[in-house]
Amino acid sequence: MPVQESIHVAAVTGDEQIVATCEVMRQLRPAVKPEDYLPTVRRMMETDGYRLAAAFEGNEVRAVAGYRYMEMLYYGKILYVDDLSTDEAHRSKGYGKMLLEWLKAEAHSRGCSQLQLDSGVQRDHAHRFYFREGFAIKSYHFRIEL
């Protein structure tokens, strides 16, 4: 996809912008009710350092990422991507790659040694994208329901 002037990536901070990301985010996180999206994102921003960034074409959200900075004894300072979703109608057009490049630059500018994310084992298409972008599987992620 040739990059056009109307395509850009930016941090999402205002309520109107956050709401604009809801539809694309819910393609990845359908359990989040539309009416709960803004208050949940705001709470996570205030309590957990959660942030949003989006790839826009004009004013339309084409891809969105939820992320946070953290420091771990094992890795040092990292940017962790909680959510990365590209609008189903606009996949394979470079929006996800553009957003990921923006996230890498953000991580670098904040002194992070790595950008990390988890991806569900069923998301084969996403995994192919991550491998193309230079990611490698370095560990297992274990969990238990409580």
**pLDDT for res 68:** 98
pLDDT tens digit sequence for 28-65:
999 999 999 999 999 999 999 999 999 999 999 999 99
Show me where the domains of the chain are located.
7-132
pLDDT tens digit sequence for 94-141:
999 999 999 999 999 999 999 999 988 888 889 898 899 998 999 888
Q: What is the pTM of this model?
A: 0.89
Pairing mode, strands 114-117 and 76-86: parallel
**pLDDT for res 141:** 84
pLDDT tens digit sequence for 10-31:
999 999 999 999 999 999 999 9
Cα–Cα distance measured from residue 24 to residue 110, given in angstroms and rounded to the nearest whole number: 27
**pLDDT for res 93:** 93
**pLDDT for res 1:** 44
Give the other-Cβ count within 10 Å of 98's Cβ: 19
pLDDT at residue 142 tops 70:
yes
**pLDDT for res 4:** 53
Q: In this structure, what token pair is assigned to residue 99? A: 């957003």
**pLDDT for res 83:** 96
- Per-residue DSSP letter, 75: T
Closest among 34, 107, 101, 93 to 60, alpha carbons compared: 93
Determine the topology of domain 7-132 in CATH: Aminopeptidase (3.40.630)
